[in-house]
Structure 1
Amino acid sequence: MADRPQPANSQALEGWMPLLEHIGELRRRLVYSLIVLVLGLVGGLFGAGPLFDFLVKRTPAGRIELSAFSPWDGIGLYMKFAFVISFVVAIPFTLYQLWAFVQPALGRREQRATLRYIPGALFMFLAGLAFAYFIVFPMAYHFTENVTSSMGLHQLYGAGQYFSFMFNIVVPLAVLFELPVVILFLTRIGILNPIVLKKLRRIAWFVMVVVGTVITPPDVVSDLLVAAPLVALYEFSVYLSVRAFKKRQARLDAYDAEESA
């Protein structure tokens, strides 16, 4: 007896199954990452106090008295510091989950190569934190302090406002420092290529200059001190993408040659 043709809706359902499986796998990875983020948030509550003391003693705020303008300021600060600690802890685990999600589509060499990006991403994030905290934030703080003094205003800072000012500068810059690692990873798995990055160079430079202008005091020197490293980060990312793209193409050509033989 001849096989009966499958209904059109059955064929469509079979076509949807792989996509649904991928979506379910991605959701599972995201749930794992959120669990680690929540656990890190709980652990961060214990580290919030020591981190707060460290930052107060080693920043320009150590020369002034921080005040609480609301009963919720202390709780809000604890939650902000706990979230920052949790974010740092969750970065390598989240990147591992991303790697595990795309792992089946990678070859053995690509799996080993991309797995090494996880410690590199953590290192770049910490480097961004250090750059923003030790270089950019003091410039921004001293500028605002000089403006306040020149206007004859009494310098009384709220702890919540002060650390919000700090985190709004430090955290975005630390995230931007992940750019080379992210671009290199996307190039190795074939999503990005240096041709696209070179076409977007003018737009990327403009975005970097805007970011440098927004998070720094309104003077040319400070803007350049922040925008120049960000532009250099993008160009370094393009360079890494070119190298990774050439290696990927060489492997694909060698594989095609073997298949043809």
Structure 2
Amino acid sequence: MEDKELNIIDHLDELRTRLIITLAAFIIFFIVGFMFVEDIYNWFVRDLDVKLIVLGPSDILWVYFMLAAVIGVAGTIPVLATQVWLFIKPALKPIERKISLSYVPALFILFIVGLCFGYFVIFPTVMGFLIELGGEMMVTNFTAEKYFRFIFNTTIPFGVLFELPVVMMFLTSLGIINPYVLTKIRKYAYFVLIIIAIFISPPDFMSDFLVAVPLIFLYEISVSLSKIVYKRKMKKQKEWEEQYGVEADTVEE
């Protein structure tokens, strides 16, 4: 009983260490983002014909913090993924350790790709639709706080959703899911993805279609990659069993 309690305490201590490292990385990237926030701001508003307005001094501070926070989150993702991998590494099989480590850089790359898709494809489409909706009835002015909140709401969800293939591959390599399960629940997954697309896009068919199709495509990519990982996992497990005469999960490094 005491050994189990000590083991739990050791795991909690390690978890705290991993969280502290991740938090420290976020603070560092946040400070870096804060230092270059003016350049980041100018890049985001480069295509606007008017200057953004603020309704109070606190809005200026909000913009600074939100822009720096986005840089902090983007830079922290590979650090967080690495810390998660190091935390669960002792519980992984030798084969799983090598495979899962390769997913760390992929998480960061796909997050950036998702942000780019949201910003360069979804954001201008949604923004154009909403401006045209107002037509000549209204004078279009943007506050800095509303403008950047709108950008983040139409880009950050795609940064997260674009990591779906890597997450599926990782869970497959751990044996938590397999491609047959993903294929079986495909219609339910489509329904959820379409609901997400409707929720984050303007209320018109073309915008919903423009968002839903990439999400469904991502799911199909996830299923295909899960099949590849699953076949490799089964093949390597069979090789371990033939070489050592025991099941792969009993072989230690």
Asked if these proteins are the same fold (TM beyond 0.5), I'd say yes
Q: 2 CA distance for matches of 1:23 and 1:200?
A: 35
For 1:211, the aligned partner's letter is: I
User: Structure 1 residues 218-227 or 14-23, which shifts more?
Assistant: 14-23
Q: 2 CA distance for matches of 1:226 and 1:253?
A: 41
For 2:187, the aligned partner's letter is: R
Which of the residues 87, 95, 113 maps onto 1:101? Answer: 87
- Displacement of 1:37 in angstroms is 0.8
Which of the residues 178, 196, 212 maps onto 2:197? Answer: 212
- Displacement of 1:107 in angstroms is 4.2
Q: 2 CA distance for matches of 1:135 and 1:241?
A: 27
Q: 1 CA distance for matches of 2:69 and 2:116?
A: 18
Is 1:49 aligned to residue 34 of structure 2? Answer: no
Is 1:73 aligned to residue 59 of structure 2? Answer: yes
Contact 1:208 1:231 in 2 (8 A): yes
Instruction: Spell out structure 1 runs of 4+ moving beyond 4 A.
Output: none
Identity, in percent, stands at: 35
Deviations along 1:165-222, one digit per CA (max 9) or x if unpaired, are 1101101111110111111112112222223322332222122111211111111111
Q: Secondary structure at the match of 2:227?
A: helix
Q: 2 CA distance for matches of 1:212 and 1:49?
A: 32
- Displacement of 1:73 in angstroms is 0.9
Q: Secondary structure at the match of 2:57?
A: coil
Corresponding residue pairs, total: 246
For 1:132, the aligned partner's letter is: G
Q: 1 CA distance for matches of 2:115 and 2:35?
A: 21
Q: How does 1:173-252 map to 2 (within 5 A)?
A: 173-252=158-237
Q: Are residues 24 and 135 of structure 1, via their aligned partners in 2, closer, same or farther at CA, if it must alter by over 3 Å?
A: same
Is 1:256 aligned to residue 241 of structure 2? Answer: yes
* Equivalent residue number for residue 132 of structure 1: 118
Is 1:21 aligned to residue 6 of structure 2? Answer: no
Which of the residues 125, 144, 169 maps onto 1:159? Answer: 144
For 2:102, the aligned partner's letter is: R
Q: 2 CA distance for matches of 1:250 and 1:13?
A: 40
For 1:252, the aligned partner's letter is: Q
Structure 1-normalised TM-score?
A: 0.88
Q: 2 CA distance for matches of 1:17 and 1:204?
A: 41
For 1:200, the aligned partner's letter is: I
* Equivalent residue number for residue 117 of structure 1: 103
Is 1:36 aligned to residue 25 of structure 2? Answer: yes
Contact 1:91 1:122 in 2 (8 A): yes
Q: Secondary structure at the match of 1:244?
A: helix
Q: Secondary structure at the match of 2:45?
A: helix
Contact 1:139 1:217 in 2 (8 A): no
Q: 1 CA distance for matches of 2:178 and 2:8?
A: 25
Contact 1:183 1:237 in 2 (8 A): yes
Q: Secondary structure at the match of 1:67?
A: coil
Q: Are residues 25 and 195 of structure 1, via their aligned partners in 2, closer, same or farther at CA, if it must alter by over 3 Å?
A: farther
Q: Are residues 198 and 21 of structure 1, via their aligned partners in 2, closer, same or farther at CA, if it must alter by over 3 Å?
A: farther
Q: 1 CA distance for matches of 2:130 and 2:77?
A: 32
Gaps of 5+ in 2: 247-253
* Equivalent residue number for residue 3 of structure 1: none
Bigger Rg over Cα? 1
Q: 1 CA distance for matches of 2:127 and 2:44?
A: 14
Q: 2 CA distance for matches of 1:114 and 1:260?
A: 25
Q: 2 CA distance for matches of 1:16 and 1:252?
A: 33
Q: 1 CA distance for matches of 2:227 and 2:7?
A: 32
Gaps of 5+ in 1: 1-11
- Displacement of 1:70 in angstroms is 1.7
- Displacement of 1:83 in angstroms is 0.2
Contact 1:67 1:158 in 2 (8 A): yes
- Displacement of 1:96 in angstroms is 0.9
Contact 1:127 1:177 in 2 (8 A): yes
